[in-house]
Structure 1
Amino acid sequence: MAGDAGRSNGGIADGVEGGAMRKLRAFLLRLAGVWRKDEGDFAAEFESHLTMEIEDGVRGGLSEQEARRQALIRHGGYAQTQQAWREQRGLPWLEILLRDLSRGARTLWRAPGFALAAVAIVALGIGANVALFTLVRAVLLRPLPFAQPSRLVAVYGMDAPGEEASGNLVAPGDYYDWRKTAAFEGMAIWRVSGFNMAGAAGELPEFVEAGSGSAELLPVLGVRPVLGRWFSTQEDTSGGPLVTVLSWNLFERRFHGNPAVLGTTMRLNMQAYTIVGVLPREFAYPDGEIALWVPFHADTAAKLIDNHYAHLAHVIGRLMPGVTAQAADAELTAIQRQIVAQFGAAGSVRKLVETRPMQSDMARDVRQPLLVLQAAVGCLLLIGCLNLANLMVARGAGRRREIAVRTALGSSRLRLCIEQVAESLVLCATGGAAGMALAMLAVRWLVRHWNGLPQTESVHVDGVVLLFAMGLVMLTGVLSGLVPALAATGGGLRSSSRGMTEALKDNARTMSAGAGRTRLLRSLLAAEVGLTVVLLVCAGLLFTSFLRLKGEEIGCATDNVLTMRFFLRGHAYRQPAQIAALDTALLEKVRALRGVEAAGLTNVVPGDGYYSDRSVWLRGEDENRASPHDQPLFRTADPGYFAAMGIPLLRGRTFAENERLDNHHVVVVSRLFAREFFGAKDAVGQVIRTQLGWDVETFEVVGVVGDTPWELGAQERPMIWFPIFSGAPASSDAVLVIRSSGDVEQLALPVQKIVASLDADLPVTRILTMNQVLGLATADSQRNATLLGAFAGLSLLLAAVGLYGVLSYVVAQRRGEIGIRMALGARREEVLRLMLGSGLRPALWGLGCGIVVSLGATQALRATLYATKPLDAGVYAGTVAVLLAAAIAACLVPAWRAAKTDPMAALRAE
Structure 2
Amino acid sequence: MTWFRFFRRQRSDSELQQEIRAYVEAETEENIARGMAPEEARRRANIKFGNPQSIREKLWRQNTVAAIDHLWRDLAYAARTLKRTPGFAAIAILVMALGIGANVALFTVVRHVLLNPLPFSNPNQLIALDETSGHDKKDSVAGGDFYDWQSASHGFQQMAIWRFSGYNISGDRNELPEFLPAMTCSWNLFSTLGVQPALGRLFVDADDTDKAGVTVVLSWSLFKRRFNADPSIIGKTIRLNTFPYTVIGVLPQSFSFPDPKVQLWVPYYKGTPSIILHSHYSHNGHVIARLKPDYSASQAVQEVQAIQRGIYTRFSGTGPVSSEVVSQPLIDDVVGDTKAPLYLLMAAVSCLLLIACLNLSNLLVARAVARRKEMAVRSALGGSRVHLICQQITECVLICISGGILGVGLAHLAVRWLTKYWLNLPRAEAIHIDATVLFFALGVTAFAGAVSGILPALLFTDANVSTALQDSPRTAGSSSSKASLRKGLMTVEFGITVVLLICAGLLFKSFLQLGSVDPGCATRNVLTMRYFLRGQTYSKPDQVISFQEQLLERVRHLPGVTAAGLTNVVPGDGPYGEMTFTIPEHPPQPPEKHDSALFRTADPGYFQAMQIPLVAGRFFISTERLGNSSFVIINQRLAHEFFPNEDPLGKHLAVSWRSPSAEKLEIVGIVGDTRHRLNEPVQSMMWFPILSGAPGVTAETALVVRSTTDPAPLSIPIQKSIAAIDPDLPVSNVLTMQELLGRSMASSSFETSLLGAFATLSLLLASVGLFGVLSYLVAQRTSEIGIRIALGAQREQVLRLILTDGLRPALVGLALGLCISAAVTRKLQSQLYGTHPLDPAVFGLVAIALLLVAAAACTFPAWRASRLDPIKALRME
Tell me the TM-score normalised to structure 2 length. 0.94
In 2: Cα distance, 1:465 partner to 1:807 partner: 37
Q: Is the CA contact (8 Å cut-off) linking 2:143 and 2:285 kept in structure 1? A: yes
2:769 is aligned, of 799, 802, 805, to 802
In 2: Cα distance, 1:37 partner to 1:625 partner: 96
Q: Is the CA contact (8 Å cut-off) linking 2:162 and 2:285 kept in structure 1? A: yes
In 1: Cα distance, 2:17 partner to 2:315 partner: 95
Is 1:703 paired with 2:666? no
Q: Is the CA contact (8 Å cut-off) linking 2:130 and 2:140 kept in structure 1? A: yes
- Letter of the 2:109 counterpart: L
Aligned with 2:656: secondary structure?
A: strand
Residue equivalent to 2:778: 811
- Letter of the 1:41 counterpart: L
- Letter of the 1:460 counterpart: H
Deviation at 1:626, TM superposition (A): 4.9
The Cα offsets for residues 730-781 of structure 1, whole Å up to 9 and x where unpaired, read as: 2101111000012211101000000000000100110000000110111111
Q: Is the CA contact (8 Å cut-off) linking 1:247 and 1:290 kept in structure 2? A: yes
1:412 is aligned, of 378, 384, 388, to 384
In 1: Cα distance, 2:71 partner to 2:784 partner: 42
Please, which runs of 5 or more residues in structure 2 have no aligned partner?
28-44
In 1: Cα distance, 2:856 partner to 2:193 partner: 59
Is 1:30 paired with 2:2? no
Deviation at 1:814, TM superposition (A): 2.0
1:596 is aligned, of 537, 546, 561, to 561
Aligned with 1:709: secondary structure?
A: coil
Residue equivalent to 1:716: 682
- Letter of the 1:761 counterpart: D
Residue equivalent to 2:435: 463
Aligned with 1:294: secondary structure?
A: strand
Q: Is the CA contact (8 Å cut-off) linking 2:601 and 2:689 kept in structure 1? A: yes
Residue equivalent to 2:31: none
Change (3 A) 1:456 1:765: same
1:115 is aligned, of 89, 101, 104, to 89
Deviation at 1:34, TM superposition (A): 5.4
Residue equivalent to 2:496: 531
Please, which runs of 5 or more residues in structure 1 have no aligned partner?
1-25, 53-67, 491-495
Is 1:101 paired with 2:52? no
- Letter of the 1:133 counterpart: F
List aligned pairs for 1:159-558, cutoff 5 A.
159-160=133-134, 163-165=136-138, 168-179=139-150, 180-490=152-462, 496=463, 498=464, 500-506=465-471, 511-512=476-477, 514-558=479-523
Q: Is the CA contact (8 Å cut-off) linking 2:618 and 2:670 kept in structure 1? A: yes
Is 1:564 paired with 2:497? no
Q: Is the CA contact (8 Å cut-off) linking 2:126 and 2:288 kept in structure 1? A: yes
- Letter of the 1:552 counterpart: V
Q: Is the CA contact (8 Å cut-off) linking 2:166 and 2:183 kept in structure 1? A: yes
Residue equivalent to 1:784: 751
Deviation at 1:833, TM superposition (A): 0.9
Return 683-692 or 462-471, whichever deviates more. 683-692
Q: Is the CA contact (8 Å cut-off) linking 2:585 and 2:652 kept in structure 1? A: no
Is 1:679 paired with 2:644? yes
Q: Is the CA contact (8 Å cut-off) linking 1:602 and 1:735 kept in structure 2? A: yes
Change (3 A) 1:35 1:486: farther
Residue equivalent to 1:579: 544
The Cα offsets for residues 475-497 of structure 1, whole Å up to 9 and x where unpaired, read as: 1111112222222323xxxxx4x
Deviation at 1:408, TM superposition (A): 0.8
- Letter of the 2:747 counterpart: D
Aligned with 1:692: secondary structure?
A: coil
In 1: Cα distance, 2:355 partner to 2:611 partner: 50
In 1: Cα distance, 2:57 partner to 2:340 partner: 58
- Letter of the 2:815 counterpart: G
Q: Is the CA contact (8 Å cut-off) linking 2:555 and 2:718 kept in structure 1? A: yes
Residue equivalent to 1:839: 806
Deviation at 1:302, TM superposition (A): 2.2
Q: Is the CA contact (8 Å cut-off) linking 1:669 and 1:705 kept in structure 2? A: yes
Deviation at 1:906, TM superposition (A): 2.0
Q: Is the CA contact (8 Å cut-off) linking 2:477 and 2:777 kept in structure 1? A: no
Return 879-888 or 473-482, whichever deviates more. 473-482
In 1: Cα distance, 2:213 partner to 2:709 partner: 50
The Cα offsets for residues 368-420 of structure 1, whole Å up to 9 and x where unpaired, read as: 01100010011011111111111122222222222111111011111111112
Aligned with 2:600: secondary structure?
A: strand
1:765 is aligned, of 721, 732, 739, to 732
Q: CA RMSD in A?
A: 2.4
Deviation at 1:860, TM superposition (A): 2.1
Change (3 A) 1:427 1:776: same
Percent identity for Structure 1 against Structure 2? 47
Q: Is the CA contact (8 Å cut-off) linking 1:34 and 1:91 kept in structure 2? A: no
Residue equivalent to 2:104: 130
In 2: Cα distance, 1:466 partner to 1:623 partner: 66
In 1: Cα distance, 2:156 partner to 2:664 partner: 43
Deviation at 1:333, TM superposition (A): 1.0
The Cα offsets for residues 540-559 of structure 1, whole Å up to 9 and x where unpaired, read as: 00100001100111221111
Is 1:638 paired with 2:603? yes
In 1: Cα distance, 2:545 partner to 2:859 partner: 73
Return 731-740 or 614-623, whichever deviates more. 614-623
Residue equivalent to 2:723: 756
Q: Is the CA contact (8 Å cut-off) linking 1:615 and 1:627 kept in structure 2? A: no
In 2: Cα distance, 1:715 partner to 1:627 partner: 25
In 1: Cα distance, 2:492 partner to 2:869 partner: 34
- Letter of the 1:97 counterpart: L
Aligned with 1:713: secondary structure?
A: coil
In 1: Cα distance, 2:591 partner to 2:526 partner: 39
Q: Is the CA contact (8 Å cut-off) linking 2:474 and 2:782 kept in structure 1? A: no
1:140 is aligned, of 108, 111, 114, to 114
Deviation at 1:121, TM superposition (A): 0.9
In 1: Cα distance, 2:797 partner to 2:527 partner: 65
In 2: Cα distance, 1:84 partner to 1:647 partner: 94
Aligned with 2:79: secondary structure?
A: helix
The Cα offsets for residues 192-250 of structure 1, whole Å up to 9 and x where unpaired, read as: 10000113433211111011111110111011101111111111012421111111111
Aligned with 2:376: secondary structure?
A: helix
In 1: Cα distance, 2:360 partner to 2:10 partner: 33
- Letter of the 1:444 counterpart: R
The Cα offsets for residues 267-287 of structure 1, whole Å up to 9 and x where unpaired, read as: 111011111001011111001
Change (3 A) 1:632 1:437: same
Deviation at 1:30, TM superposition (A): 3.0
Aligned with 1:381: secondary structure?
A: helix
Q: Is the CA contact (8 Å cut-off) linking 1:347 and 1:624 kept in structure 2? A: no
Deviation at 1:71, TM superposition (A): 12
- Letter of the 2:116 counterpart: R
Aligned with 2:89: secondary structure?
A: helix
In 1: Cα distance, 2:11 partner to 2:97 partner: 34
The Cα offsets for residues 343-383 of structure 1, whole Å up to 9 and x where unpaired, read as: 12111111122221111121121000110001001101111
The Cα offsets for residues 249-294 of structure 1, whole Å up to 9 and x where unpaired, read as: 1111111111111111111110111110010111110011111111
Aligned with 2:180: secondary structure?
A: strand
Aligned with 2:676: secondary structure?
A: coil
- The number of residue pairs the alignment matches comes to 858
